[in-house]
Structure 1
Amino acid sequence: MTSQVRAAPNQDQFAAETDRFRRELLAHCYRMVGSAHDAEDLVQETYLRAWRSYAGFEGRASIRSWLYKIATNVCLTASKPRPIRMLPSGLTGPYDGPDRPPIPVPAGEVSWLEPLPDTWIAPQADDPAAVVVGRESLRLALIASLQHLSSRQRAILLLRDVLAFSAAETAQILDTTTAAVKSGLQRARARLDDLKLDLEPAELLEPTDQRARALLDGYIAAFERSDADLLEQVLRSDATLEATPFRDWQAGRVMCIHILDAYVLGTPGDWRMIPTTANAQPAAAVYHRDPAGVLRADGVVVLTATTTGVSQVIKFHDPTLVATFGFPKVLSR
C-alpha cells in the first residue's frame, strides 16, 4: 500500500472515517477496564489523540487497526495506576458462616466491576454498515475473568481471540514482536483455563429470547410482590447471588432465597424494577422506596438466564448506574 501523509486535518473527513468505529472501541475499552464510565472517558481520549495525529496517518494500516492501537495503549496506560475491578465471587468463596445480613466492604477497599448498557454499543438502525459488537464477548462472566489477567495479557487475548487480529497485527498494535504475542496469548489462555470458568454455557439464553424475558419478569415480580415463592420458580438449584459492595455471596437456590427473603425483599411495594439489558444479558433498573414513600434509584441487577432457569444474579448497588442506563433517579409512581 502506498503511504500518503495528509496535507491538513479535516474534521468532517476525520468523523466520516472514524465515527463508525466508536461503538466497538467503547466495547473494547470496557473489556479492558471493566467500567462503563471509565470506558467512555477512554474512548474520548482515544479520539482526541487520533485527531491530533490524524494529519500524520499514512495509511500503512487500516483506520480501524490504527484506532485500536491508540485505544489499546490508552487503556494500558490508564490501567497502570488503577486497581483491577472485581465482583464478590472474585474475592472469596461463597459465604457459609452464621446467618447474618451481608456486610459491605469499606468504601475504597475494592474497585467493583460495572455493567455496560447494551444501548451504548448497539448499532444505529440507520447504519447498516456499522460493525456489530460480539455480544458473547461482553458477558459479565468473561469481563470478570479478564480481571485475573495482567493488562497486557488482557489486551493480547482481546485483540487475538475476540477481535480476530492476526499475531502480526497485534504485535504492531502493541509495539512488540509476534513471538511475544504468541507467548502472551498462550499464558492468558492457560490462566483462564486454570480458573475453570464456564464462560459460554450451551444453555445460555439471549435476552431477546422469550424464555429469558419470562425469567426476568418472574424475578421482577418476586421483588415487587415480596414473594419468595416466585424466586423458587425462577432460580436454578445451583444459582448464585452476589451484590456489590458486599464481600459475601451465596451459592445454591436455598441460600439465595433465604438471604433475599430475610434481609432484602421487605414488603410488597418496596421495590420497583424496569426491564433492560446489560452485557448481552437480561437486566433491570432497580428502585427502592425510601421512608418518605419515594421510589429512588438503587442500582442495576443483571441475570444469567439459561434454559433451566436463572443461574446467576448480580446486583450492582450504585444509584448512579440507573441514570447511566437512561432511567430517572426517581419514579413518579
Structure 2
Amino acid sequence: MQDRFTAETERFRRELLAHCYRMIGSAQEAEDLVQETYLRAWRSYSGFEGRASIRSWLYKIATNVCLKALQPRPIRVLPSGLAGPYDGPDRPPRSVAPGEVSWLEPLPDAWIAPPAADPAAVAVERESLRLALIACLQHLPARQRAILILREVLAFSTAETAEILGTTTAAVKSGLQRARARLGELEAEPERLLAPTDHRARALLDAYIAAFERSDAGLLEQVLRTDAKLEATPFRDWQAGRTMCIHMLDAYVLGTPGDWRMIATAANGQPAAVVYHREADGALRADGVVVLAPTAAGVSHVIKFHNPALAATFGFPDVFAP
C-alpha cells in the first residue's frame, strides 16, 4: 500500500508546497506543513474511498492543516505592512526587536518549479507567488485567504471549495466576494513584472549585483525606477522613491568595493540573489536574500531579507568561496 500511496500522491508535493506557502508566508513552515499533510494523508489513506479526486483530497488535508497552524499566529508582514515610507530626519533604518513582528519570507523557485515543458503552468505559478501578492494575502482572514487561493489560483469549483473547507457554497461565494474586495484595496493595480528568464530582467539583476559589489550608487540609479520602493526585514523603516532609496543605500549600506558579493538565483517567480557580506575576519558570510521586482522601465521594488539561514534554504553555503 505504501508504494501505491507514493505513486498516487507524490506528484502533488510541489504544488502543495506552493499552496501552503501562499497560506502561511514562510518557506520553511510550508515545508513542515506539507510533511504534516502527507503524514495525515498516509494515516487515513486506507479509508480514502475515491468520492473526490486524490488531488482535492490532499488539498482538503493541506488547507485544514494550514488553517489550524494559522490560528494562534500573527500574520507575516513586510515593513510596508507596518506603516508608510520613512520621511523623517536622516539616520540609519530602525530595526524591530526580535519576536516583535513575524516577517514574510521568500520561497526558492527551485522548490516549486513546474516542468519547464509547460510554459502556461510556469506563468500561472510565477504570477500567483509574487511577493507583493503573498504579502497582501496575509492580510486576509485565513478562511477568506483559503477561499481566494482555492478558487482563483487553483481553479477549484465553488462546490469543490465548499467540500474542502467543510462549508456551504453560499459561504464560499460570500467569502470570495469579500476577499476580492479586500485584495483590491491592498493591491489596486498589480504590476506587470518581467519573467526571471527575460533578458531584461537578468540584465537588471546583473546590474544590481554589480552596483553592490562595486559600491556604485550611480549604477543603482540606472537600475531603479523613479518610483522604486526599498524595504528590508527586520527594519521598520522603508523608502519610497529612487532618490530616497539610493541615499539610504549609499549612506548606510554600500560601503566600499568588495564588501558585498551576490549570487544570482530566483525566488517567488522573480529574479533574486543570495547576499554575502565581508566580516571583520575577511570572510564573506551569508547575509540573506534580496528579491527584485523587474519591469520594462526598471526595478520597481527591492526587498532584502536579512537572514543568513536563507543561504542554506536556497542551496548555497554559509561562507562564499570564490
Q: Structure 1 length as normaliser, TM-score? A: 0.94
Measured after TM superposition, the shift of residue 193 of structure 1 is: 1.5
1:238 aligns with 2:249: no
- Listed as ranges, the matches of 1:185-196 within 5 Å are 185-196=176-187
Corresponding residue of 2:15: 24
Instruction: Report the AA paired with residue 255 of structure 1.
Output: M
- Listed as ranges, the matches of 1:234-313 within 5 Å are 234-313=223-302
Corresponding residue of 2:214: 225
Instruction: Report the AA paired with residue 322 of structure 1.
Output: A
| CA RMSD between the two structures | 1.2
Structure 1 range deviating more: 37-46 or 190-199: 190-199
Corresponding residue of 2:90: 99
> What are the Cα deviations for residues 245-288 of structure 1, in whole angstroms up to 9, with x where unaligned?
00100000000000000000000000000000000000000000
Measured after TM superposition, the shift of residue 198 of structure 1 is: 2.6
1:111 aligns with 2:102: yes
Stretches of structure 1 lacking an aligned partner (at least 5 in a row): 1-9
Secondary structure of the residue aligned to 1:134 is helix
Corresponding residue of 2:71: 80
Corresponding residue of 2:204: 215
Given candidates 46, 49, 63, the residue that maps to 1:55 is: 46
Q: Structure 2 length as normaliser, TM-score? A: 0.97
Stretches of structure 2 lacking an aligned partner (at least 5 in a row): none
Measured after TM superposition, the shift of residue 196 of structure 1 is: 4.1
Q: Quick one: distance in 2 between partners of 1:167 and 1:331? A: 49
Given candidates 302, 326, 332, the residue that maps to 2:315 is: 326
Corresponding residue of 2:3: 12
Corresponding residue of 1:90: 81
Corresponding residue of 1:184: 175
> What are the Cα deviations for residues 160-186 of structure 1, in whole angstroms up to 9, with x where unaligned?
011010000000000000000000001
Instruction: Report the AA paired with residue 152 of structure 2.
Output: D
Q: Quick one: distance in 2 between partners of 1:281 and 1:122? A: 12
Q: Quick one: distance in 1 between partners of 2:302 and 2:225? A: 11
- Listed as ranges, the matches of 1:123-162 within 5 Å are 123=114, 134-162=125-153
> What are the Cα deviations for residues 89-116 of structure 1, in whole angstroms up to 9, with x where unaligned?
0110000000000110000000000000
Q: Quick one: distance in 2 between partners of 1:197 and 1:248? A: 23
Secondary structure of the residue aligned to 1:241 is strand
Corresponding residue of 1:7: none
Identity %: 79
Instruction: Report the AA paired with residue 281 of structure 1.
Output: Q
Given candidates 35, 57, 71, the residue that maps to 2:62 is: 71
The size of the alignment, in residue pairs, is 319
Q: Quick one: distance in 2 between partners of 1:208 and 1:26? A: 22
> What are the Cα deviations for residues 188-208 of structure 1, in whole angstroms up to 9, with x where unaligned?
111112224332x23x20000
